Amino acid sequence: MASLVSFLGELLMTAGVVLGLFVVYSLWWTNLLADRAADRESDRVREQWEQEIEGAGVPGKLDTKDGIGFLHVPAMDDDQILVKKGTDPKVLDDGAAGYYTDPVRATLPTSGKNGNFSLAAHRDGHGAKFHNIHKIHEGDPVVFESKDRWYVYKVFEILPSTSKFDVGVLEKVPEKSGRKKPGKYITLTTCTPMYTSEHRYIVWGELVRVEPVDDRRTPPAEIRGS
């Protein structure tokens, strides 16, 4: 009997070690790989922008597989988040935020049209770019940086939990946000609670102004903290 108890104890200890290694892989190793991939892609996007501005490159379409810009959310303590097309694993697992193309297509801010610039990113693992989304409060800024414009949004509503099938949060007029009329909105979506994918956490913002990008790419005051 004692030997059986000892064997079961060793088995549980081994299972615990395996589980611990899996957690390390899921949360640390995938973050490391995703951050490296995102950094490489971010550098490439900025290099391409510089070439296009200087006239040395061939202008490309905005809606491509390449990064379309960068998201800056001071409340999440993240300097910049690369934004790309789509929300499939090939995009999000490489440490980027992706704009929705399905089931409701996002309206890009660069179009100048009313609509909802809806985005998704991982909360845990694979870069975890929206890990600190719970630190965002109403009134906080969310800034999207394109090649030649800064789009400054102000957060006006937060939905801490909703069904992962709730596509209404992505609509051009997201009524659960309290808005009833067309406008220029941004929506951040990610999984909740932490370390699960059971529900979705939603943050809504509305465009308050657009600034041109100067030669030094001086960010808006909201990013500079002044």
Three-state DSSP state, 24: helix
Cα four-point dihedral sign 89, 90, 93, 99: negative
190-218 confidence digits (pLDDT tens): 999 998 889 999 999 999 999 999 988 99
Q: In the numeric block, which tokens belong to residue 183?
A: 């406008």
**Considering the domain 41-224 in this protein, what is its CATH number?**
2.40.260.10
Please state, rounded to an integer, the average pLDDT across all residues of the chain: 86
Query: How does strand 115-120 pair with strand 184-192?
Result: parallel
Question: Catalytic residue positions?
Answer: 191
CB atoms within 10 A of CB 95: 27
14-71 confidence digits (pLDDT tens): 444 344 444 445 567 788 888 899 999 999 999 989 888 777 545 444 434 568 999 9
CA distance 196 to 141: 27
Burial class (CB in 10 A: 0-12, 13-18, 19+), 165: exposed
Q: What is the pLDDT of residue 70?
A: 97
99-117 confidence digits (pLDDT tens): 999 999 999 999 999 999 9
User: Where in the chain does DSSP place strands (E)?
Assistant: 69-73, 78-85, 97-99, 115-120, 141-145, 149-163, 184-192, 199-212
